[in-house]
Amino acid sequence: MALWAGQVSRWCCRLDAARAAEFLRGLRSCGSPAQPCRQFAPRALLPAGKDVVLWRLQAHRRVSGGSSAPLDSARNESFSSPESNLPSPVKEQAKAETLPDLSAEVLNEDWDDIPPSSALEEISEEEAVQIIAEPLLPLQSTTLRDYVDHSETLAKLVHLGVDLSQVEKRQKAGQLLLTLDFEKDIKKILLFLKDVGIEDNQLGPFLTKNPYILGEDLEALETRVAYLKSKKFGNSEIAQMVSRAPYLLLFSVERLDNRLGFFKNELGLSVKKTKDLVIRLPRLLTGKLEPVKENLQVCQVELGFQRNEIQQIVYKTPKILTASKKRLKQTFDYLHNIMGIPHHMLTRFPQVFNSKLLRIRERHMFLAFLGRAQYDPAKPSYISLDQLVSLPNEVFCTEIAKASIQDFESFLKTL
């Protein structure tokens, strides 16, 4: 043991300050005595070249001496003779570069600081199976489903009843939701919609149809609602309009005002009738105006209705303004040219234009087969257009056709 200590002292005297510091760091990195050091010792601590030969000879002499006194004298001689040959400045430097006291207290003071686990550290199979790997968040995806587990906003929207599979079909709606914070951005919009009159069970379907409202400025939304109230729309009417036309509040006050003015002037309606018109069909305020203008032109030029008749038809049946032009002309042709219904009768019952042409044709042909197709109110056994299209099959057969439902079904098979 004395031999080892003496040899270490000889090596350390030859180390400069940097190597001594590296040696200390190597000792401290070994951790507690119970844990072996995970790092290899630096090569600079080992003797090299001629020193190896000298060290082996000295070790052999000390071991073969057999007594402690020769060992001590050999140790003193071996460590003093090389220094006696050094110039005086080197001797002073060697004395100055002595190692600090490596007592047990100093070495133990960092043993409680266990180094962090390394990624290359081997673990047991039991520890390995207990590791749960979090799924990676994709950088790009075509579905919002991949982000629900990572996004509190998406998770809460799903809880509200929002159908993300439908939202992601809308242009840039998915990107919008991923950039919003629920507490900061979305919560205030939800409270606003509840104040407008949207029920809790309607929030999910509403946001599914119009997720863009979550990115709107709250003050702008409140301004648009205030405008509708200034036009004498009641709270319940506004709630009905917003729920039936989810995009309504995305339009500016100027656009809403222009739309109301268009229908009032184009149809020649009063303020009250214009308001009633958009309450019953609020998407007139959000849809394109080109189809509306085309249908008005078709009614007047191709179908032959007068301006006052068009006004009555539109006010009673607003959907005629957004109906397909082809369907509108086909229905009119069958009613007017096949069934012989005049314009003034169609003006009285414009809801017939909302019915399917197949339903009208089947019932008319069945009444004609029975000899009961009579649509003139001035004659007996009159059948109104409303009764023709609005009643269920069972009621139509028993009360209008005076036949059984089986007779009607058997007749349809012959067509």
Residue 44 confidence (pLDDT): 37
- What are the angstrom distances between the C-alpha of 78 and each of 59, 64, 109? 11, 16, 34
Query: 136: exposed, middle or buried (C-beta count within 10 Å: 0-12, 13-18, 19+)?
Result: exposed
Residue 350 lies inside a defined structural domain of this protein: no
Residue 238 lies inside a defined structural domain of this protein: no
Residue 368 lies inside a defined structural domain of this protein: no
- What are the angstrom distances between the C-alpha of 223 and each of 90, 107, 228, 229, 366? 89, 73, 9, 10, 56
Residue 85 confidence (pLDDT): 42
CA distance 48 to 155: 67
Residue 273 lies inside a defined structural domain of this protein: no
Splitting the chain (415 residues) into consecutive groups of 10 residues, what average pLDDT does each group show? 46 47 49 40 40 48 46 42 42 46 48 55 72 55 67 89 90 88 94 95 94 96 97 95 95 95 92 94 93 94 94 94 94 96 95 94 96 93 93 94 94 91
Length of the chain: 415
Residue 204 confidence (pLDDT): 94
Residue 409 lies inside a defined structural domain of this protein: no
> 339 and 373 in contact (C-beta within 8 Å)?
yes
CA distance 213 to 223: 14
Residue 93 lies inside a defined structural domain of this protein: no
CA distance 319 to 306: 18
Residue 201 lies inside a defined structural domain of this protein: yes
Residue 387 lies inside a defined structural domain of this protein: no
Closest C-alpha to 310, from 358, 354, 282, 343: 343
Residue 174 belongs to domain spanning: 142-215
Element (H, E) at 263: helix 253-267
- What's the total number of domains in the chain? 1
